[in-house]
Amino acid sequence: MTAEPVAVPHVVQVDLAGRTALVTGGGSGIGRACALRLGAAGAKVLVVDRNLEAAKAVAAEAGGRAEGVDLSDAAAVDRLDVDVDIVVNNAGLQHVAPVQDFPVERFEYIQRVMVEAPFLLIRRALPHMYARGWGRIVNISSVHGLRASPYKAAYVSAKHALEGLSKVVALEGAAHGVTANCINPAYVRTALVESQIADQAASHGIGADEVIEKIMLARAAIKRLIEPEEVAELLAYLCSPPAAFITGASIALDGGWTAN
Ligand SMILES: NC(=O)c1ccc[n+]([C@@H]2O[C@H](COP(=O)([O-])OP(=O)(O)OC[C@H]3O[C@@H](n4cnc5c(N)ncnc54)[C@H](O)[C@@H]3O)[C@@H](O)[C@H]2O)c1
């Protein structure tokens, strides 16, 4: 059973005035909530999304600015202003198909957006963070960075790769005041999930309600979708002073999924 949306108050006290942040995929869903949360904490946020109009709308609300970039385009990623204190690698997409039918170009595209782009952004952002002696890399991974599901070869591969990248950056950044962590949500109430419900229904040959109850929430102990704002509140905590010792971690926000 899917619960109604729950209200998520800002409980983390964090002052990010004077900090700059970049959020990929900030035009929608989790990225939007992250950009708004960082903006509310006082950071100047650069909202990056292939959907420029959506990015502009979020930037206006967050008090930041927007760039329209397709993150699969390495040259365009390299043109982004990455002199920022906080990088949130969030942009992602899903493709559902059995491995033997998985389109090769779709697999490659997903690796470019969800692994190569975070690498390119991090490698160019680190010198600025090292110079300031402070930085936060927050990678929006997934429960699928820790566990697999059938029909999601590209997504599960990409998220597992992001986990590895995050840990390496944590080790290298530690001496410079830079932490790198993954947040690992189960199913969050966003457009990505709405489209997956339809895709999964087609792949499994079942109805949408059954997908939510029997597939999406089957492995979670808490039977509701997560709100994007719950993910953003954890991001706020990771940017706060008491979180300075948290690095190289993968923080499950999965309603007990990985407890199984
Ligand atoms: N929704 C979930 O249940 C869930 C669960 C775990 C992890 N995640 C992860 O959270 C992240 C955000 O997901 P969401 O549910 O908010 O998705 P969403 O579809 O609501 O938003 C994704 C945003 O990324 C942008 N984007 C996609 N491909 C891009 C590209 N090539 N270049 C630039 N921008 C691009 C889209 O335009 C969109 O604004 C993803 O990495 C996803 O894997 C989502």
Is the pLDDT score of 193 beyond 90?
no
Confidence tier at 74 by pLDDT (50, 70, 90): very high
Confidence tier at 208 by pLDDT (50, 70, 90): confident
Q: Enter the DSSP assignment of 241.
A: G
Residue 45 maps to a domain: yes
Q: What are phi and psi of 232, to 5 degrees?
A: -65, -30
As a whole number, mean pLDDT of residues 238-253 equals 98
- Domain shared by 109 and 215, yes or no: no
- Segment among 144-148, 210-214, 251-255 with least mean pLDDT: 210-214
186 CA to centre of ligand 1 in angstroms:
13
139 CA to centre of ligand 1 in angstroms:
12
Confidence tier at 215 by pLDDT (50, 70, 90): confident
* Residue 13 CB neighbour total at 10 angstroms: 11
Residue pair 113/157 in contact by the 8 Å Cβ criterion: no
Is the pLDDT score of 244 beyond 50?
yes
pLDDT digits (tens, 9 = 90+) for 79-114: 999 999 999 999 999 999 999 999 999 999 999 999
CATH number, residue 172: 3.40.50.720
If one residue of 190, 194, 231, 254 were mutated to test the ligand 1 pocket, choosing by the most ligand atoms within 8 A of its CB, it would be: 190
- Domain shared by 145 and 221, yes or no: no
Residue pair 74/112 in contact by the 8 Å Cβ criterion: yes
- Domain shared by 206 and 86, yes or no: no
Residue 87 maps to a domain: yes
| DSSP bridge partners of 24 | 48
51 CA to centre of ligand 1 in angstroms:
12
Count of structural domains, the chain: 2
pLDDT at 1: 43
Containing structural domain, residue 211: 186-225
As a whole number, mean pLDDT of residues 63-82 equals 98
Q: Enter the DSSP assignment of 93.
A: -
Confidence tier at 214 by pLDDT (50, 70, 90): confident
- Domain shared by 75 and 177, yes or no: yes
Q: What is the mean pLDDT of the chain?
A: 95
- Pocket lined around ligand 1, Cβ cut-off 6 Å: 25, 27-31, 49-51, 54, 69-72, 90-93, 113, 140, 142, 185, 187-188, 190-193
| DSSP bridge partners of 178 | 135
- Domain shared by 151 and 190, yes or no: no
Atom nearest to 28 CA in ligand 1: 39
CA-wise closest residue to 22 among 222, 246, 235, 208: 235
Residue 109 maps to a domain: yes
Helices (H), the chain: 29-40, 52-62, 74-78, 104-111, 117-132, 153-173, 191-204, 208-210, 228-238
Which amino acid would we find at residue 172?
Answer: E
Confidence tier at 200 by pLDDT (50, 70, 90): confident
pLDDT digits (tens, 9 = 90+) for 28-52: 999 999 999 999 999 999 999 999 9
- Domain shared by 202 and 233, yes or no: no
Residue positions annotated with a catalytic role = 155
pLDDT at 87: 99
Atom nearest to 89 CA in ligand 1: 41
